[in-house]
Amino acid sequence: MQIEVKNSLLSDFDTIFKFYDIAVAHQKKVFHKHWQGFSAELVETEIAENRQYKILVDGVVACVFAVTFNDQLIWGDRDHEAIYIHRIVSHPDFRGQSFVKKIISWAKQYATAHQIKYIRMDTWADNKKLLDYYTSCGFDDVGVVTMAKTDGLPRHYEGISLSLFEIEV
């Protein structure tokens, strides 16, 4: 089995949104909160800036995720020297293949090559199963933040508390 992490292309646009739809359907089944959708402009910008990625398994898109290099609204004063991972979605046919661990491995290499000190992510603070999973993948739970300002963030960030996770590289 060949696994590759590659930049997403504009030709992946529809696939990315299909994955987001799959994720929302899954979130509705297993949790009381779910993503509220993402703008086409956001994803197009991420693709243009080489911040939207796909994981291919034997040439088939199995997982998508995005990164950013600043996350001031969520991380506040701690927003520095980090790569932030967002919107990890695995296709149901490929669940259970530890893509988060593969993304962490990729992110560690990326961070080392670009002198980045932290790999970070966030999730709903009340999703115990996901919190436990991220810590089992090597993330440290570094606190909870309640969102006050969410201008520029997707709608599902409004009025929520987030658990913050990081790995020091």
- The per-residue pLDDT for range 45-72, each reduced to its tens digit, is 999 999 999 999 999 999 999 999 999 9
The runs of H, that is alpha helices, within the chain are 13-30, 40-48, 72-75, 99-113, 128-136
Cβ distance 49 to 41 under 8 Å? no
Q: What integer is the mean pLDDT of 118-141? A: 95
Cβ distance 120 to 71 under 8 Å? yes
Measured CA to CA, the distance from residue 73 to residue 68 in angstroms comes to 13
**For the chain, domain boundaries:** 3-121
Measured CA to CA, the distance from residue 168 to residue 41 in angstroms comes to 31
Three-state DSSP state, 98? coil
Q: Tell which CATH classification among 1.10.4010.10, 3.40.50.11540, 1.10.230.10, 3.40.630.30 matches the domain 3-121.
A: 3.40.630.30
Six-digit token string for 115: 């002198």
Six-digit token string for 30: 């297993």
Mean pLDDT, the chain, as a whole number? 94
Strand ranges of the sheet holding 82-90, from the earlier edge strand across to the other edge: 3-7, 52-57, 60-68, 82-90, 118-124, 161-168, 140-146
- The per-residue pLDDT for range 3-49, each reduced to its tens digit, is 999 999 999 999 999 999 999 999 999 988 889 889 999 999 999 99
pLDDT of residue 17: 97
